[in-house]
């Protein structure tokens, strides 16, 4: 049986759209709204429909819908836009990947009714990290309930995301986050990312997660979900430590990676992997690969 290592290239066939434009109610220490500026503003239903039609005409196969959060951890405008999102799915056939934020039962039902393909759920396993990084009055249990609500509503694919080193570059709850996922859902894909110190944020000068920590978390995820693809996502250091982090993830069991370095691709081949290039998001379940 051939070993496959999947390399993902998200742009331009899977663009990122912000339902809130550049606005967010939070000042997270690792983001501080910086990444919203890199996303396409679709902060009205009209903008959302127009942009989805446009990218479909240009050859896109899907879109990531994300945006800033309320002070309760919900994605801004999500409830109001879900009927429109459902119409877009029906009209265009685009694969819809949604960053869900915190989700109660009612919102989970709305997400399922809108025919969302992929629910990407950030999972945090430390109350201290939630307070310190996000400034949210939430608990670890709120993330667990989000997973359970999406599961119970029948959302097609649930893809958890766990950030290695979220709390200023050090491990704080990552293993617990993986356990929470295991207790709650069978993920279609499991995505791990790594803290990227970002200019304009409170964490811009913190140390990046060590390759050893990356290895330990990726390995734990793989051991927890031996039959699930583990992916190293796009949000991770791209200069200092890039190759070392990618190498650690690969050796620990990651078989997917967003824009891997040439060094990582060469190592994967040395390890006996056949490289498969996919122009999409690394959270894409295997069943959608035939659409690319």
User: How much of the chain, in percent, has pLDDT values that exceed 90?
Assistant: 98
User: How much of the chain, in percent, has pLDDT values that exceed 70?
Assistant: 100
Q: Please give the class, per CATH, of domain 3-291.
A: alpha beta
Average pLDDT over the chain reads 97
pLDDT interval class at 99 (50, 70, 90): very high
Question: What is the pTM assigned to this prediction?
Answer: 0.97
> Average pLDDT of 99-111?
98
> Average pLDDT of 12-41?
97
> Average pLDDT of 104-129?
98
Task: Give the C-alpha separation, 172 to 169, whole Å.
Answer: 9
pLDDT computed for residue 1 by the predictor:
65
The per-residue pLDDT for range 219-244, each reduced to its tens digit, is 999 999 999 999 999 999 998 899 99
CB 198 within 8 A of CB 30: yes
pLDDT computed for residue 2 by the predictor:
84
Residue 73 has pLDDT above 90, yes or no: yes
> Average pLDDT of 58-73?
98
Task: Give the C-alpha separation, 189 to 26, whole Å.
Answer: 28
């Amino acid at each position: 049986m051939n070993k496959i290592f999947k390399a993902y290239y998200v742009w331009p066939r899977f663009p990122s759209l912000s339902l809130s434009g550049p606005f967010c109610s939070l000042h997270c220490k690792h983001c501080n709204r910086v990444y919203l500026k890199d996303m396409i503003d679709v902060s009205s239903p009209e903008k959302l429909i127009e942009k989805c039609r446009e990218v479909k005409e240009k050859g896109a196969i899907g879109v990531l819908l994300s945006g800033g959060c309320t002070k309760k951890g919900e994605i801004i405008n999500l409830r109001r836009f879900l009927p429109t999102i459902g119409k877009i799915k029906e009209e265009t056939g685009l694969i819809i990947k949604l960053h869900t934020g915190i989700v109660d039962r009612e919102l989970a039902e709305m997400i399922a009714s809108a025919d969302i393909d992929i629910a990407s759920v950030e999972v945090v396993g430390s109350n201290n990290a939630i307070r310190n990084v996000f400034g949210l009055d939430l608990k670890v249990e709120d993330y667990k309930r989000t997973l359970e609500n999406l599961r119970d509503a029948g959302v097609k694919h649930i893809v958890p995301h766990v950030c290695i080193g979220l709390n200023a570059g050090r491990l704080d709850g990552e293993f617990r986050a993986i356990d929470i996922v295991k207790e709650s859902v069978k993920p279609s894909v499991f995505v791990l990312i790594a803290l990227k110190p970002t200019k304009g944020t409170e964490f811009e000068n913190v140390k990046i997660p060590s390759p050893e920590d990356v290895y330990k978390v990726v390995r734990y995820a793989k051991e927890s979900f031996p039959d699930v693809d583990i992916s190293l996502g796009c949000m991770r250091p791209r200069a200092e430590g890039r190759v070392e982090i990618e190498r650690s993830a690969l050796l620990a069991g990651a078989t997917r990676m967003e824009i891997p370095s040439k060094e990582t691709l060469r190592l994967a081949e040395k390890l006996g992997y056949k490289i498969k290039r996919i122009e999409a998001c690394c959270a894409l379940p295997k069943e959608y690969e035939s659409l690319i």
